[in-house]
Structure 1
Amino acid sequence: MSGKKILMLVGDFVEDYEVMVPFQALQMVGHTVDAVCPDKKAGEKVRTAVHDFEGDQTYSEKPGHNFTLNASFDEIQPQEYDALVIPGGRAPEYLRLNTTVITIVQHFAQTHKPIAAICHGAQLLAAADVLKGKRCSAYPACSPEVRLSGADYADIAVDEAIVDGNLVTAPAWPAHPRWLAEFLKVLGTKIEHLELTSV
């Protein structure tokens, strides 16, 4: 089976792990991932932020790596993609102000294509009004927006993920192993572990 074509919506100060890890991991298993940002072209960079959980009342934030975009936002056609990934960080709070971004998210929801969102990515889902009746996880500080959008906020452990139909969500990057594993299932990706035999 050939790999899927996946769109990733990012912006400046996207969470470092939440863009880097799925971007690399999904390609590792044979999928094509196009990472785009409004007003930027392939080869340009977005800055990232490292969000960490260090015992304060909320996460801490530090500068992360620069992440190089590999596709141009103005050239993408959502109907050409099989799935959507929305990383968290600071980017979703302002990406949701872009009407084209909202239209893109609505396309994936209305066509029931797989959508994976993590942490603050739910802000974009809520703004696109695609969560009504869904069970959705997010960073706990985003739970009011999830509930106001008509969804059932899933208060799960930080390393867990939840699936509701085509939607795979998780609270934050510690959930990457579960979140990506569940997303691969929704994508129909099967990974086989072959036993090596000695000669």
Structure 2
Amino acid sequence: MTGTQILMIVGDFGEDYEIMVPFQALQAVGHEVHAVCPEKGADDSVKTAVHDFRGDQTYLETRGHDFALTHGFDEVTPSDYDALVVPGGRAPEYLRGYDEVLDAVRHFFEADKPVASICHGPQILAAAGVLDGYEITAYPAVRPEVEAAGCSWVDEVTTDGNLVTGQAWPDHPEWIAQFLDLLGTEIDHASEAATAD
């Protein structure tokens, strides 16, 4: 599958790497990614946060970038998209309070479309009531919440049906690779190298 249209739901103080890295990586292999946030438009941005792991019992948070949205939330129709990305950070704790966010998430599960979620992103999936019966992972502190939503827990990046989950941004290489597999993305390195000359 090439040229896939992917919806990414972001919000203020979402994790910087978990927004920026998949946003750019998915575009680099030919997918179109639309980043949206409730109550914000295409000319707006969200503030990101960088979560670092330095030996404390939880992560350290510092200010990240201003991430420009591509569309207003009310401008997009979930059924127009082939896949969904739900990053982590602090944004999911408030984004899960928007009915339109939960409805959008439910669409991708009801239609069995590929979904990638990482870190605290599964908080939104739990609130949408779509995790029952899945095997997933998330940021470890979210484990009680997602298990209460009916899923079983694993400690590694995992793909179960239409859902790919990871624990945090250090999982990016495997998490993004599994999502690309789920999307059916084919990367032709030989032809790219030939056209680069």
Normalised by the shorter chain, which TM-score bucket?
over 0.9
Cα deviation code 1:40-74 (max 9, x no counterpart): 00021100000010001100000001100011111
Which residues in structure 2 correspond to 1:93-132 (within 5 Å)?
93-132=93-132
Which of 146, 155, 167 is equivalent to 2:163? 167
Q: State how far apart, in whole Å, the 2-side matches of 1:106 and 1:113 are.
A: 10
Could you say what secondary structure the match of 2:38 adopts? coil
Are 1:186 and 2:188 matched, yes or no? no
Name 2:151's counterpart in structure 1: 151
Q: Give the counterpart letter for 1:174 in structure 2.
A: P
How many residues were matched structurally?
193
* Unmatched 5+ stretches in structure 1: none
Could you say what secondary structure the match of 2:190 adopts? coil
Could you say what secondary structure the match of 1:169 adopts? strand
Cα deviation code 1:144-176 (max 9, x no counterpart): 0111000001123xxxx1100110000000011
TM-score normalized by the length of structure 1: 0.94
Q: State how far apart, in whole Å, the 2-side matches of 1:115 and 1:2 are.
A: 16
Name 1:45's counterpart in structure 2: 45
Q: CA RMSD in A?
A: 1.3
Percentage of matched positions with identical amino acids: 60
Which residues in structure 2 correspond to 1:51-62 (within 5 Å)?
51-62=51-62
Q: State how far apart, in whole Å, the 2-side matches of 1:193 and 1:133 are.
A: 37
Q: Give the counterpart letter for 2:189 in structure 1.
A: H
Q: State how far apart, in whole Å, the 1-side matches of 2:85 and 2:43 are.
A: 19
Q: In the alignment, is the contact (CA less than 8 A) between 2:3 and 2:30 conserved in 1?
A: yes
